[in-house]
Amino acid sequence: MASETHGQTQRAIDAVWRIESPRLIAGLARIVRDVGVAEDLAQDALVAALQQWPEQGIPRNPGAWLMAAGKHRAIDYFRRHKLLERKHEELGHELDARQEAAVDDLEAALDDDVGDDLLRLVFTACHPVLTTEARVSLTLRLLGGLTTDEIARAFLVSEPTIAQRIVRAKRTLADRKVPFEVPRGADRAARLSSVLEVIYLIFNEGYSATAGDDWMRPGLCEDALRLGRILAALTPQEPEVHGLVALMEIQASRAKARVSGSGEPILLLEQNRALWDLLLIRRGLAALARAEQLGGAYGVYALQAAIAACHARALTAEETDWTRIATLYATLATIAPSPIVELNRAVALAMAVGPAAGLAVVDALRDEPPLQRYHLLPSVRADLLFKLERFDEARREFERAAGLTRNARERDLLQARAAACAARL
């Protein structure tokens, strides 16, 4: 019984940490001006909770308890480093040797502007001075509340690799003296683009895992959605933020329909739409409307959300407005030209006009360097060849795609389709 109670307490602590750690780290980082130090102080507070809560019980306001513990550790940090008087000056207070006054100053500073602190933490964790991989890992650690082991398992890399990546990221931010602030003007726009990219990368890895045995990793989708919703609340006038949230909400609405009971992928046109989450669809459509009201109808994420909305609004696969989807992809190609956008346009064009029209676009992409090792190029080409009853060519392309993917579930699907082509010969 005691073991069961301890386990319940441990799960409660894990849940509290996942929710409260971003605010805790953000508040501490504004004071110490070092994300790495702030995380260390927050971890010290977590250790205190792990030691005390199993014996004393979970406090009525666990978030406030962690914040108080973090404040005390911040004060100890300043005392150890002989920076207490300097912090008085930075906070604009008169120098006062009394420890009680120092505590009051720090507590007041930590309690202010929680939303602003979170926004500063988002922009700091996603700073372009870091590599994309470092930004993703650090964001999941600081804002997602994930452990190093959880991040490593999510991206199928070793735990030491992720640990080193996070350590280097925090060291880089400190060495380059990256300010803990929300940038302004053109710099803010550039940094916001980086933030959105990181969140979308996290979502995409959860939605279609690049490697491993699972077709999806729902936990990553949920983390990305939570980060997106936080960012939308903190930046309500940024249309692209709402566009990204709209895209993720609508895509996430299909999660239960994308995988069979035994884990096999189910393609979009074969999904049971009754399993789509109507609440997420409504949230996504509302976020898309917000992006459009703010003048963001032609943002990169809003356009992709509008494409996803075409699928969401169709009660059956046959009712899908493929002509509009092809037009939206054409617009997206003019704003953010990319071979992958063209590949998606080819699929929409094939559905709207016919497989021969889509195949012509795909064939024009075969020499594009970014697509040389991209498994979806031969996969899409194979599907169009199959529809044109060119089964032997389709079989070879499905086999080629199966050889390029690193996802076991996707490989099985492609090999099954290759076998279906062989059966038609």
Residue 94 has a pLDDT of: 40
Name the pLDDT band for 390 (thresholds 50, 70, 90). Answer: very high
Name the pLDDT band for 84 (thresholds 50, 70, 90). Answer: low
Name the pLDDT band for 181 (thresholds 50, 70, 90). Answer: confident
Q: What is the pLDDT of residues 370-383, one digit of tens each?
A: 888 899 999 999 99
Task: Give the residue, 401 or 30, on which the prediction is more confident.
Answer: 401
| % of the chain beyond a pLDDT of 90 | 50
Q: What is the pLDDT of residues 45-63, one digit of tens each?
A: 888 888 888 888 888 888 8
* Fold exhibited by the domain 114-213: Arc Repressor Mutant, subunit A (1.10.10)
Name the pLDDT band for 421 (thresholds 50, 70, 90). Answer: very high
Residue ranges of the chain that CATH labels 1.10.10: 114-213
The answer regarding whether domain 321-425 maps to CATH 3.90.25.10 reads no
Whether pTM exceeds 0.85: no
> In the beta sheet, which residues pair with residue 265?
259
Q: What is the mean pLDDT of residues 71-92?
A: 68
CA distance 335 to 304: 12
Residue 163 has a pLDDT of: 94
Least confident stretch, 180-189, 284-293, 403-412: 180-189
Q: To the nearest whole number, what is the mean pLDDT of the chain?
A: 86
Q: What is the pLDDT of residues 253-275, one digit of tens each?
A: 999 999 888 888 899 999 999 99
Residue ranges of the chain that CATH labels 1.25.40.10: 321-425
